[in-house]
Amino acid sequence: MMRFILPFVIFIVLSVFLYIGLGRDPREVPSPLIDKPAPAFSLPLLYDTQKQFTTEDMKGQVWLLNVWASWCGACKDEHPVLMDLASQKIVPVLGLNYKDKREDGLAVLRKAGDPYVLTLFDVDGKVGFDYGVYGVPETYVIDKQGVIRDKIIGAVTPHNLRDRILPLVAELNKK
C-alpha cells in the first residue's frame, strides 16, 4: 500500500508547487521600499514646468503615485481604470510621467483624458529610479505619514483595484 501512497503524495505536493509557480509572475520583484518612507523629491509639473511639486505637499493624505509614460503599452490598458477611479473621487492619484517627451505625455492626457490630480514630469527617470521603478506602469500606495504601503507592478485593473488597492486605502484613511 505504502508503495502507492508515497509517490502519490509526492506527486500531489509537486503539483501544488508547480501550480502556485505558474500563477506567479517572475517579473514581480517584491519591493524593499514597502513600509519605508517614500523617497522625498521635488519635480516640475507636466502642464507647467515652472511649478514645482514636493512630496511634502501630500503629507496628511493617502494618495496613489502612478508611474506612466506615453511609450508604455500597459499604461493604455490601465488608463480607463484610472479615469473611472478619478471620477469616484475616492483617493487622489498623482501621475509620474516617466522618461517621456513632454509633448507626448501631454498628448496622451489630451486624447484619453486626465485622471491625475497632478502630473509630475520625471524626464530623466531619476525619481523613478529612487522609487525602484523598473517597468512601467507601477503604482504606489502612500499613507498620511508619507510611508509607501504597497506597490503594484504592472497595470491597475478593476480586479486589483477592488481587492487590493481600495481596501488598503480605506484602512489607511481610518488611521
Partner 1 sequence: MKNFLIALLLVLPAFAHAGEAKDLADDPVMERRMILLAEKVRCLVCQSENVASSHSDWSNDVRQIMRDKMKAGASDQEIMDMLVERFGKSVLFDPPVDKETLPLWTAPFVFLFLGIVVLFFQLRKRSTVVQQEVALTSEAQAHAAQLLKEENK
Angstrom distance (rounded) from CA 114 to CA 108: 8
- Enumerate residues 79-118 that contact partner 1 by CB under 8 A: 99
- Give ∠ CA 95-100-104 in degrees, rounded to 5: 90
Q: Is 74 in the site for partner 1 (CB under 8 A)?
A: no
DSSP 37: B
Joined grid coordinates for residue 164: 487590493
Using CA atoms, how far residue 107 sits from 33, 71, 85, 100, 117, in Å, is 32, 12, 21, 11, 17
Q: Which stretch binds partner 1 (CB under 8 A): 72-80, 109-117, 131-139, 163-171?
A: 131-139
Among 7, 73, 80, 135, binds partner 1 (CB under 8 A): 135
Q: How far is the CB of 148 from partner 1 (least distance, A)?
A: 12
Among 41, 76, 117, 129, binds partner 1 (CB under 8 A): 129
- CB closer to partner 1 out of 103 and 124: 124
Using CA atoms, how far residue 99 sits from 68, 79, 104, 158, in Å, is 9, 18, 11, 26
Q: Is 31 in the site for partner 1 (CB under 8 A)?
A: yes
Interface contacts to partner 1, rule CB under 8 A = 26-27, 29-33, 99, 125, 129-132, 134-135
